[in-house]
């Protein structure tokens, strides 16, 4: 339940309608509200009302590609809910050319001109304060951010820690039971759980290197967050999305090669020029301008 009291944006009206914020509200109630107010809808997080197809942001199709799929039941739910009359949207916005190609592959009824790449943003992190977390091993550590979903390749971080016992590794995010038990046997790896943004920014800013070994991503926001927070050493899996977005600033490695893991001592920082090029391309102003332009063209 999010309070609207602290939102004050010139020209933007915030309205609360409905009693609950859940999937039913998003799939049914929101469409009724739009019809009553005679307004088009822009849905920013994959789902849109079942009977109202205006504009939607679909970040990826992990639920359809085997490299990203984690749970068959929820993959089926997502396939049904997102796929229902999906081609009827006026426009489908997505975050990368890779995601666009996969959307068009899995939804052949969607026309190429319906899917628009708008990128992503992380520049709001520049306004976040910095707070040192109350934990050990903050003098020299490597950082990973994400869940233990199959596509995140969490096991790679465990193997990396096991083979580098002289180095410390911090993992921020949700961790599932089996993986928690597996990681407890690795003394130089610390699972932090969820942190405040101010604490995570501190970790981004002071890490020896940010590691993202994913098998599959639609964009890979943690790397962009890290860049916005001042981190300049990125070790990323060599997958199409990361090549598309982060090629000028990343150290790439093969996430499938369990024998030859990334050489942490060989990581090189990105130049400020390369980092600024990424940051000037992927920011919220550009995202908003692209969405606004295409929605205006559809009027």
Segment 255-278, tens digit of pLDDT: 999 999 999 999 999 999 999 999
Q: Please determine, for residue 25, whether its predicted confidence score (pLDDT) is greater than 90.
A: no
More confident of the two residues 132 and 71:
132
Contact 171, 144 (CB under 8 A): yes
Q: Which residues contact 127 (CB under 8 A, 6 or more apart)?
A: none
16-20, 23-27, 115-119, 145-149: which range is least confident on average? Answer: 16-20
Contact 83, 107 (CB under 8 A): yes
CA dihedral over 158, 160, 161, 165, signed as positive or negative: positive
Q: How confident is the model at residue 1, as a pLDDT? A: 46
Q: Please determine, for residue 89, whether its predicted confidence score (pLDDT) is greater than 70.
A: yes
Segment 168-203, tens digit of pLDDT: 999 998 777 677 777 778 999 988 888 999 999 999
Q: Please determine, for residue 242, whether its predicted confidence score (pLDDT) is greater than 70.
A: yes
Q: Please determine, for residue 2, whether its predicted confidence score (pLDDT) is greater than 70.
A: no
Residue with tokens 């789902």: 47
Provide the whole-model pTM.
0.91
Contact 86, 58 (CB under 8 A): no
């Amino acid at each position: 339940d999010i309070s609207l009291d602290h939102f004050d944006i010139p020209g933007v009206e915030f309205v609360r309608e409905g009693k609950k914020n859940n999937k039913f509200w998003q799939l049914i109630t929101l469409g009724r509200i739009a019809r009553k107010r005679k307004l088009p809808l822009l849905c920013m997080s994959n789902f849109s009302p079942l009977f109202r197809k205006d504009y939607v942001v679909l970040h990826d199709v992990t639920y359809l590609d085997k490299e990203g799929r984690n749970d068959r039941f929820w993959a089926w739910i997502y396939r049904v809910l997102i796929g229902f009359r999906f081609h009827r949207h006026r426009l489908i916005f997505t975050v990368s050319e890779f995601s666009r190609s996969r959307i068009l592959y899995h939804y052949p009824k969607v026309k190429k001109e319906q899917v628009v790449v708008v990128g992503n943003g992380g520049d709001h992190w520049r306004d976040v304060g910095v707070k040192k977390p109350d934990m050990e091993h903050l003098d020299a550590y490597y950082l990973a951010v994400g869940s233990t979903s199959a596509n995140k390749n969490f096991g790679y971080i465990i193997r990396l820690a096991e083979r580098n016992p002289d180095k410390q590794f911090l993992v921020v995010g949700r961790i599932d039971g089996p993986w928690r038990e597996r990681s407890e046997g690795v003394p130089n790896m610390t699972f932090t759980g969820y942190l405040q943004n101010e604490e995570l920014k501190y970790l981004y800013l002071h890490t020896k290197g940010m590691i993202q070994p994913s098998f599959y991503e639609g964009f890979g926001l943690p790397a962009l967050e890290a860049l916005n927070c001042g981190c300049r050493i990125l070790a990323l899996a060599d997958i199409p999305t990361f090549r598309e977005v982060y090629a000028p600033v990343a150290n790439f490695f093969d996430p499938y090669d369990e024998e030859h893991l990334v050489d942490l001592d060989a990581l090189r920082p990105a130049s400020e020029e390369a980092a600024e090029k990424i940051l000037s391309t992927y920011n919220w102003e550009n995202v908003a301008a692209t969405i606004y332009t295409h929605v205006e063209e559809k009027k």
